[in-house]
Amino acid sequence: MIEKDIEGALVDVFNNMNLNGLKVTGLWQPSAEGVVKGIEKSDSVAGLVVKIPPKSFDTFGICEVQFDIQLVLTVRIEKDKSGSHLMEFVEPINAKLEEWNLVQVGEELDDFKVEGFYPGGVQIQAGSGPDLDRNLTTWTVQWNVTLRGTLEHGETTVEE
């Protein structure tokens, strides 16, 4: 499934940024820890969830698609009472998003290349946060990313 493959590629991108204390996961990806997505019992300072809902098509009969990606950063207050770790994660994530947004077609879009999909462009949409939730004891920031591109033409098969 292309959504799962793109999500996995983005999880790898953010993991490869080596942000100390950040656990990155995707909602289509299996959990290695055997708990729901592995974050709930994590000792990490923060978690970044990559979420890619099913794609939408631009029109009938053509292969141009759009993915409305959400990135949700959650930082645990008990591990970041001052909010300083929040900025340590937000700044490099923002920089990566800006890099993606400022290119039309180029090497920067290689992060989105998966089998059967050709990325055409990325647009960063309005996000939300930082939000402080004293009941859940978390800081939260959300980014919304629109990814547009083209699916490979050819015979369609259903995976079993």
pLDDT tens figures, 60-109: 777 899 999 999 999 988 887 777 888 999 999 999 999 888 876 567 78
Domain boundaries defined on the chain: 2-151
> Cα angle at 64 between 62 and 70, to 5 degrees?
145
Interaxial angle between packed helices 2-15 and 84-101, expressed in degrees from 0 to 180 and rounded to the nearest 10 = 130
* Predicted TM-score (pTM) of this structure: 0.83
* Span of 3-12, 66-75, 119-128 with lowest mean pLDDT: 119-128
Provide mean pLDDT across the span 127-147. 88
Q: Give me the pLDDT at residue 83, please.
A: 73
Q: Give me the pLDDT at residue 22, please.
A: 92
Contact partners, residue 100, CB within 8 Å, separation at least 6: 108, 109, 111, 122, 124, 145
The residue behind tokens 């990814």 is 147
Mean pLDDT of the chain: 85
Percent of the chain scoring above 70 in pLDDT: 86
Percent of the chain scoring above 90 in pLDDT: 46
Class of domain 2-151: alpha beta
